[in-house]
Amino acid sequence: MKMQQPKLDNRNIVAADLFCGAGGLTRGLLDSGIRVVAGFDIDEACRYPYEKNNRPAIFKKKSVTDISGKQLKAFYPADAVCVLVGCAPCQPFSKYTQGLKTVADEKWGLLAHFGRLVGELKPHVVSMENVPQLQRHSIYDEFLAMLRDLGYYVSTHEVFCPDYGIPQHRTRLVLFASLLGPIQIIPPTHNPEKYAVVKDVIDHLPRLQAGETCQADPLHRSSALSDTNLSRIRNSQPGGTWRDWPKELVAKCHRKKKGRTYPSVYGRMKWDEPAPTITTQFFGFGNGRFGHPEQNRAISLREGAILQSFPRSYEFVRRGEDISFKTIGRMIGNAVPVRLGAVVGKSIKRHVEAECSDEKRI
C-alpha cells in the first residue's frame, strides 16, 4: 500500500527558478498555469526583462552557491506543491565549448549546488533542462544518484524542440524528479509534417537592411556588415555554405585544409525548415547559419527571440535604453525556449493533478 501523502492543494503549484536568466523557463511555466514566485541569477541585466514580463515573480540577484534550502523554503506557501526548476549554465558541457579552457570551467560545480539545494529543500518536484552532452559527465551521474537516494522518481528525456512546436533544430535534455510518484514528459504535439518553420514565425516582420533598426520595435535590429560580408551574403543561398561563393570571397582560414570541415558558418536559414540552434551570437552572419533567408543581413535580435519562442512583445530593456547586441544576444541565446518551459510546466501540472487527486490517496 502506498504511503499516504500529506494533504496538498493540486491547484496551488508553486515554483522557483534557479539560473533564471531573462525568464524563458519562468515564462513557459506561467503560460502552463504554474505560479512562479522568484528567479535567481547573478546577471543584473536580466532583472528588467525577468520582472517586466513575468509579474508577480521577482528577480533575486544571487548565486546558487550563496542560497540555502531554508531561504528558498520561505518563498513557498505551506500548502503548496513545491517545485524547483533550473538550467545550470551549459557551457562546460556544450559541444561548442568542449576542449576550450575558459571561465566556464568554474561553472561545473553549479549542478552540484543545484543538487545540494534539492537535498536541503526537498521540493515535491524538480526539473532541470540542459544540453544532452551533460549525460556524458560523472557529475550528472552523481546528480541522478543523489535524487534517487533522496527517494525521487526520476525520468530523463532528450527533447527535439520541433516536436513541441518550437521552430528551431535544438535538442535538449529535460529531467524530472518527483517525490509524489513516477513522472514523464507530455507527448509530442507536432509531427514532421506540422513542424513550425522559420517562415511561420518571422516572415511577417518588417524588412531590414544590415545595420538598420525598425522604428516600431527597437529590438528588431540587425548588425552591420562589412562590404566583404555583404558580398558574401549576396552570394549565399538558403541552406548553402561558403563553398558556394566565388573563390575570392572565401576566408583564408577556410581555404586551409582543416577549415574545409566547418561549413556551418556564413550560411542562410531556409524558410521551410526550423532554424538552427540559436546561440548567444546568433546576430552575427559569420557565427553560424544565421543569415536571413532572403534579406542580405543576419537575423535581428527580435527574430532570434521569436525563434526561441519568446512572445514578440517580450521586453529585454527599458524603452530608450541602449541596446547591446552582446548583452541581449547572451540573454536570448542562453534562455530555455519559452515553449519548452511550457512543456515542462504542463508535464508537471498533469503529474501533480494525477498524483494529488483524491483517487490516489489510499
Distance of CA 122 to the CA centre of its chain: 25
Contact 343, 185 (CB under 8 A): yes
Contact 104, 92 (CB under 8 A): yes
Residues 6+ apart with CB under 8 A from 76: 14, 16, 37, 82
Residue type, 177: A
Write the DSSP assignment of 227-267 as a string of letters: HHHHHHHHT--BT--GGGS-GGGS-HHHHSTGGGG--SSS-
- Residue corresponding to grid cell 511550457: 342
Contact 37, 75 (CB under 8 A): yes
Prior bond of 162 cis (ω within 30°): no
Which of 90, 161, 214, 356 is labelled catalytic?
90
C-alpha cell at 195: 513542424
- Length reported for the chain: 362
Contact 295, 208 (CB under 8 A): yes
C-alpha cell at 176: 524530472
87 is catalytic: no
Distance CA 193, CA 293 (A): 20
Identify the CA nearest to 50 among candidates 314, 329, 345.
Answer: 314
Looking at residue 288, what DSSP letter applies?
A: S
Q: Over the range 197-220, which residues count as b (16 or more CB within 10 Å of their CB) and which as e?
A: bbbebbeebeebebebebeeebbb
Q: In what order do the strands lie in the sheet with 171-178?
A: 58-61, 35-41, 13-18, 81-86, 125-130, 171-178, 153-160
Q: Please state, in angstroms and as integers, the Cα–Cα distance from residue 106 to each residue in 90, 112, 222, following that order.
A: 11, 12, 33
Which residue numbers are catalytic? 90
